[in-house]
Amino acid sequence: MVEDINHYIENQFKQQVEWYDKKSIKNKNYSIFFNVITIFCGALTPILAAIDFKDLTIVFGVIVAISLGILKFCKFEEHWHNYRTTCETLRKEEFYFKYGADVYANANNPEKLFIERVESLISRENTMWLSTVKQTAIEEDAAKR
């Protein structure tokens, strides 16, 4: 069973943790990028309007609208938080398993329990992702009406 759990940890668990980590960082960076653009352009728009730079006012207003639309549609912040939470929860689970803590302290088969709990966490995150994507579709339908 030791070989099986080591194989699982190397070929499934660690790859999942790495995937969630990378996706979290990517979504965080996109979220920060589009939020900074929105804040910067949004702050400059009324200043440009006040000093009568009509063309730049329009351009910056359009950039704000596009940036906000991308943030709303792509849900970078929601994905960032979901991926980061799952990644850190998986890391904590590995720590508990490795040191026989929490539910693993008295488990009859800690290897099996570890795999079940990890797969449950991954499944839960997949459900959260689907829920976020479905919410976007519902919001789009409502906006069309």
Task: Name residues of the chain where pLDDT drops below 50.
Answer: none
CA distance 100 to 96: 6
In 3D space, the residue among 63, 5, 11, 7 whose CA is nearest the CA of residue 35 turns out to be 63
- pLDDT the model gives residue 126: 85
pLDDT for residue 142:
66
Going from N- to C-terminal start, the domains of the chain cover 2-144
pLDDT of residue 3: 81
Model pLDDT, residue 129: 83
